[in-house]
Amino acid sequence: DTTVKQNPRYKLARVGKPVNLICSQTMNHDTMYWYQKKPNQAPKLLLFYYDKILNREADTFEKFQSSRPNNSFCSLYIGSAGLEYSAMYLCASSRKGTGGFNQDTQYFGPGTRLLVL
């Protein structure tokens, strides 16, 4: 089973309010990612967890938080939503490659569509 699940699928939030998105996988993958995708743009990596270590991209460092309470779950937290946060948020997971292949395939969830009003 290569399923990555995301909840909720749709989220409506008010400007200035917090938002928490959830992702889960049961593949025992060591790495989980969050991407932001806006229409006609490439998915943009926000952050990823390798095991318990959080790595945040420099240009989104202060805008997003995340937690990974166990191997299967990862959340994306926005402390104070702004209009510019309206987007699709994609979660993905992967495991470290083997046999000299460092980069294994990322498996994606269906996304959470966030609309901030």
Q: Does position 103 bind other proteins by CB under 8 A?
A: yes
Beta bridge partners of 36: 44, 89
Burial level of 19, CB count in 10 A (0-12/13-18/19+)?
A: buried
Binding segment (CB under 8 A) for other proteins, from list 18-26, 68-76, 77-85, 87-95: 87-95
CA–CA distance, 21 with 59 (Å, rounded to integer): 20
Binding mask 8-37 for other proteins (x = CB under 8 A): -----------------------x-x-x--
- Is residue 48 classed as helix, strand or coil in its secondary structure? strand
Under the binding rule (CB under 8 A), the answer on residue 73 touching other proteins is: no
Interface pick for other proteins out of 24, 36, 106, 112 (rule CB under 8 A): 106
Residue 26 or 105: the one with the smaller Cβ distance to other proteins is: 105
Among 4, 74, 78, 114, which residue sits at the site for other proteins (rule: CB under 8 A)?
Answer: 4
